[in-house]
Amino acid sequence: MSVRRSETLLPARRSQRFAVGRRTVLGVDADVLWLLVPALIPITILSVAPLLYGVYLGFTDARAGGNVAPVFNGLENYVRVVNDPYFWESFGVGFVWAISVTAIQFGLSLVLALLLNQRLPGRVIFRLIAILPWAIPPVVVGFIWRLVYQPNSGLLNTVLRDLGIQDERISWLTTPAALPAVVIAAVWAAMPITTVVILAALQSVPKELHEAAAIDRAGALAAFRVVTWPTILPTAVAISTLDFINNFNAFSLVYVLTGGAPSGQLRLPMLLAYEEAFRYGNYGYAAAIGNVMVLAVAALLIVYLRLALSRRGRLS
């Protein structure tokens, strides 16, 4: 890079002209300071500080009530985490949830984006409908899917009855099918964003490549594999990574669907940490759960990105 770097952060181009009469504060360009500080103060107080404090709290015995200052207790919380069956249950549910929502969401969004990318008449309306769930607040999404899975006059039971498949009033969220049921709701809510991102990537696939593939009499599948997929792969890796993190952070949908009291099979990590902190007042322990979960997610993502990037290397 030809960018001039210095502690005074000169503008990238024509720095001489900008430099005339520049004031510095402690060696930093005064302009940089006032541009930066307004955003920096709230970010520091409400984002950076909580993050650092949260990591620290995980190593303390902080509890609700009383004004006793939290005491550092080393790895005590982590010994408890490792021996806590609720933690392991939630850990498993969290990963099954995040991986299955991400995978199904990606697969369906890819197919939907490919369809919406065709020059079919009416595609403007189809696109509008496809992004509709995006416009619905998470709380309302939760309520909508409660209406779907309700035992009495729920949408799913009504459809199954009308199709003559079964006539029982199943309370879907309390059966062993609860996790798949909630996964479907989550996929429904998150599909639009992924679809739009993939659609944007599809539109950047050079038309010449498709024409070349057509001349070579390549079938649709072959053209997809050779032309489309390699072009959208970086986007696919990026959006699935972000989706995974988002799904791991999921809270509102399951909270609303279960009325704030999820059974074990639906207790996602966020809900476990929430319960530990605000129902039982175990702040330190909740923070420790958070630390362990984030480390586990980070480890998984590193493996995933390594695999994805090495495959990309082989393709090109």
**Of positions 71, 214, 307, 309, contacts another protein by CB under 8 A:** 214
Using only C-alpha atoms, what is the Rg of the chain?
Answer: 25
Residue number with CB closer to another protein (178 or 258): 258
Site for another protein in 63-102 (CB under 8 A): none
Instruction: Give the range of 4-12, 77-85, 224-232, 304-312 binding another protein by CB under 8 A.
Output: 4-12
Cβ-based nearer residue to another protein, 3 or 165: 3
Q: Which is nearer to another protein, 137 or 314 (CB)?
A: 137
Q: Which residues pair with 85 in a beta bridge?
A: none
Q: Which CB sits closer to another protein, 182 or 191? A: 191
Q: Which of residues 241-300 bind another protein (CB under 8 A)?
A: 241-243, 245-246, 249, 251-252, 255-256, 259-260, 269-270, 273-274, 277-278, 283, 286-287, 289-291, 293-294, 297
Partnered with residue 25 across adjacent β-strands are 28
| Selection from 126, 130, 263 nearest residue 190 by Cα | 130
Please name the helix (run of DSSP H) or strand (run of DSSP E) that holds residue 18, with its range, or none: helix 15-19
Binding status of residue 34 toward another protein by CB under 8 A? yes
Q: Binders of another protein: how many residues, by CB under 8 A?
A: 111
Q: Which stretch binds another protein (CB under 8 A): 79-87, 120-128, 175-183, 307-315?
A: 120-128
- 316's CB contacts (< 8 A; 6+ apart) are 230
Give the residue carrying structure tokens 């609700």.
Answer: 64
By CB atoms closer than 10 A (0-12, 13-18, 19+), residue 174 is middle
Do residues 172 and 156 touch, judged by C-beta distance below 8 A? yes
CB of 77 to another protein, least distance (A): 12
The residue from 76, 99, 146, 170 that contacts another protein (CB under 8 A) is: 146
CB closer to another protein out of 122 and 314: 122
CA distances for 279 relative to 59, 61, 206, 214, 275, angstroms? 20, 16, 55, 61, 5
302 binds another protein (CB under 8 A): no
Report the residue from 26, 68, 135, 221 that binds another protein according to the rule CB under 8 A: 135
Encoded amino acid at 141, one letter:
V
Compare residues 35 and 299 and give the one whose CB is closer to another protein: 35
Minimal CA–CA distance to 247: which of 199, 285, 293?
293
Q: Interface with another protein includes 222 (CB under 8 A)? A: no
Q: Does 215 bind another protein (CB under 8 A)?
A: no
Least distance from C-beta 234 to another protein, angstroms? 11
Residue 254 tokens read as 């399951």
Task: Report the 10 Å Cβ neighbour count for 37.
Answer: 9
